[in-house]
Amino acid sequence: MFCEVECQVYVRIPTENLDRNYLVPQRTILSCLLKSMLIWKATKEHGYFLAVTKLKSIGKGEFEESSRSIFFPVAFFFRTFLPANGEIMHGVVNVVHRRGVFLKCGPIKYVYLSVRKMPNYYYVGGENPHFIKDDLSRIEKDVVILFTVFAVRWTKKRGEIEREFMILASLEGNGLGPVSMAGYEELDL
């Protein structure tokens, strides 16, 4: 699910970044904000940060003696992606195992589709492992799959900044599975 969210954070600017007039350029504040968002990556409440869409305001900076930094309150709007149970999504098969497949879906690296949630699919091992169904539809590496979100889990690794959502996927339901390219013709450009 995509959302538009308003947020206010304090951006830390070290005093080394002051210009000749002892001012902090607006682009420096925005650059530090974007770098911080790259580090945060996601939050449990809002999901993954995709883009800042509008800058609302930059407040007056406050100097903090202990850190030798200036803190600016910045209000802005940004777009997020938050996975939700029951949502139908697309993912690309990354790894195929005997017990299921791992998919990637946008910024989400960890989507697991268990063989138990793939009705009527059978594992075929070998050099190119895949799952196949009676109608000959195949789930193999680099195939796009339409799936439903069965469960979502927020994880934050101890001692690390890395924050991720993990998803359990399911193909139980109508119209779910490999995305068919039938009916599409190659376009001559």
Q: Distance between CA atoms of 171 and 161, rounded to whole angstroms?
A: 32
Residue type (1 letter), 71: F
103 burial via Cβ count (<10 Å: 0-12, 13-18, 19+): buried
Dihedral over alpha carbons 8, 10, 16, 22 (to 10 degrees) = 70
Closest listed residue to residue 121, CA positions, set 55, 42, 177, 69:
177
| Angle (CA) 135 149 171, round 5° | 10
User: Torsion angle of alpha carbons 45, 149, 116, 92, nearest 10°?
Assistant: -100
Q: What is the pLDDT of residue 36?
A: 86
pLDDT of residue 9: 92
User: What does the longest C-alpha to C-alpha distance in the chain come to?
Assistant: 73
What is the C-alpha separation between 29 and 60, in angstroms, rounded?
Answer: 12
For residue 157, the model assigns a pLDDT of 67
- Helix H, strand E, coil C: the string for 133-182 is ECCCCEECCCCEEEEEEEEEEEEECCCCCCEEEEEEEECCCCCCEECCCC
Q: What is the DSSP letter of 116?
A: G
pLDDT given for residue 120 in this prediction: 92
**Domains defined along the chain, listed by start:** 2-81 (3.30.1490.120), 88-178 (2.40.50.140)
Cα gap 113→117, rounded to integer Å:
7
3-state secondary structure string across 29-86: HHHHHHHHHHHHCEECCCEEEEEEEEEEEECCCEEECCCCEEEEEEEEEEEEECCCCC
pLDDT in tens, the chain (189 residues): 888 999 999 999 988 777 777 788 888 888 999 898 888 888 888 889 988 899 999 999 898 888 889 999 999 999 999 999 999 999 999 999 999 999 999 889 889 999 999 999 999 999 999 999 988 899 999 999 999 999 999 887 665 556 788 999 999 989 899 985 444 444 444
